[in-house]
Amino acid sequence: MVAGLIGLSATGQAWSADSLKDVMKARGLTEKDILAAAKTYTPTGGRDEYLAFSSGGQSGQIIVYGVPSMRILKYIGVFTPEPWQGYGFDDESKAVLAQGRIDGKDITYGDTHHPAISETEGDYNGKFLFINDKANPRLAVIDLHDFETKQIVVNPFFSSDHGGAFVTPNTEYIMEATQYPAPYKGKGFVPLSKFNDEYRGGLTYWKFNMEEGRIKPDESFTFELPPYSQDLSDAGKGPSYGWGFTNSFCTERYVGGIEKGRPPFEAGCSSKDTDFLHVTNWKKASELVAAGKIGQKVNGSTLVTLKEAIANDLLFFIPEPKSPHGVDVAPTGDKIVVNGKLDSHTWVYDWNKIQKAIADKKFEGKDPYGVPIIAINDVLHTSVSVGLGPLHTQFD
């Protein structure tokens, strides 16, 4: 590596200045500038107050930086071999990457998107980090004791994902939702003319063992969902503990056809004013699966079918703002917040009202697959105008 340094006149003068005022004058800095620098400065060897874990996107890695210093502290190799740091070139990391093979083939690229830190009682415990691969439906476990990837699992049903990873309050499960509907793996090619009947979405609850630091595929299960595009998720806590919430978009089930004179794909997927918030009872589902009362073995894994989910009151829909990308449970657990990328409002749902609607079986109808739909007016707490197009809502 070759580095060069060019000294500009003002900067050059600053190096030899004797006092703070001299430096400020030489560099044209104000007291406001100095205060901002002091708030973020972390001396060499000092520790930042926080660590931030950022998805690397198509690098397939995780970027770790300190706050407030904003120094990059580490790049964690996850789904992609990295010669510069040896990831994927020693026996241990080779074995980890081999876990991510799909149909026996090495997958040497990834698209990391939504990391999640392990939790205890709904708060970060800092032990593990989870991240999804959007390009390939995979999930990775990173041990924060040594900041190294320990496990990669491949989703047995999906062909894509985006909504992963999200954890339940005690990291009992990690949530991973498919993005684009597709025939489940093993079905082979299915034409779009059979989209409504044979394409499906899904939501996997991966069982996690905190002591072992590993996902347990044999104890995990997947909800079969209608062929909408599922998106991001969050798990309930406090009064909403045991339930999960997942966005969706393109509930129009539009498949394109611009070459035939039909509207573009994006327009067809945005023709409705609302999409569906998916509400899943993962705790009850896990108990029924463990008791052998529901769940079919498909591709060697447990699939809770739509029919089983509906019959056992495990799945409900609620209208949400158009094309959302974020659902967040308030720290109190009694409010759920959803924004729409194509809606200028953020909607806040009341969990107590949702529970009452479910208990009273008060539904405004069913979707084409028989899933009960709760009327928005029965459960909405408030609607906040935030301007058009917020990408994410997030509690810090």
Secondary structure of residue 378 in the 3-state scheme = helix
Residue 296 makes CB contacts below 8 A (sequence gap 6+) with 302, 303, 304, 305, 308
Q: What angle do CA 56, 57, 58 make, to 5 degrees?
A: 115
- What is the average pLDDT across 300-326? 96
122-139 pLDDT, tens per residue? Answer: 999 999 999 999 999 999
pLDDT (average), residues 253-277: 94
pLDDT at 344: 87
Over residues 163-177, mean pLDDT:
96
User: Could you give phi then psi for residue 197, rounded to 5 degrees?
Assistant: -95, -35
Check whether 7 has a pLDDT greater than 50: no
**What six digits make up the tokens of 368?**
């084409």
Q: What is the pLDDT of residue 302?
A: 98
Distances (CA, A) of 3 to 9, 83, 356: 20, 21, 65
Q: At 120, list the tokens.
A: 């205890």
Tokens (6 digits) for 70: 């904003």
Quote the distance between the C-alpha of residue 192 and its chain's center: 27
Which residues 6+ apart lie within 8 Å of 206 measured at CB? 139, 153, 173, 174, 175, 176, 215, 216, 217, 220
Q: How far is CA 171 from the centre of its chain?
A: 14
**Is pLDDT at 53 greater than 60 in this prediction?**
yes
**Residue appearing with tokens 């991973």:** 176
Please give the pLDDT value at position 343.
86
**Residue 15: its pLDDT value, please?**
53
State how far the Cα of 347 lies from the Cα of 353, in Å rounded to an integer: 14
Report the chain's mean pLDDT, rounded to a whole number.
93
Share of the chain above pLDDT 90, in %: 87
Average pLDDT value for residue range 161-178: 96
Split at pLDDT 50, 70, 90, the class of 16 is: low
Q: 54-74, pLDDT tens digit by residue?
A: 999 999 999 999 999 999 999
CA distances, 46 to each of 33, 34, 73, 146 (Å) = 22, 19, 12, 19
Question: Would you state the CATH architecture of domain 155-396?
Answer: 7 Propeller (2.130)
- Give the percent of the chain with pLDDT over 70: 95
Query: What number is the average pLDDT over the span 257-273?
Result: 93
Number of Cα atoms under 13 Å in the Cβ half of residue 160: 15
- pLDDT band of residue 389 (cuts 50, 70, 90) is low
Domain boundaries, the chain: 155-396
- DSSP code at position 393: -
Own/partner contacts of 291-300, CB < 8 Å, gap of 24 or more, are: 295/221, 298/156, 298/157, 298/184, 298/186, 299/156, 299/157, 299/184, 299/185, 299/186, 300/156
Sheet containing 50-55: which strands, arranged edge to edge? 50-55, 61-67, 72-77
Report which DSSP code applies to 3. Answer: -
In sequence order, the 6+-apart residues with CB closer than 8 A to the CB of 319 are 274, 275, 276, 277, 373, 375, 376
pLDDT 10s digits, 83-125 = 999 999 999 999 999 999 999 999 999 999 999 999 999 999 9
- Residue 60: left (phi > 0), alpha (psi -120 to 50), or beta? left
Phi, psi of 180 (to 5 degrees): -100, 130
In this prediction, residue 392 carries a pLDDT of: 75
pLDDT of residue 9: 47
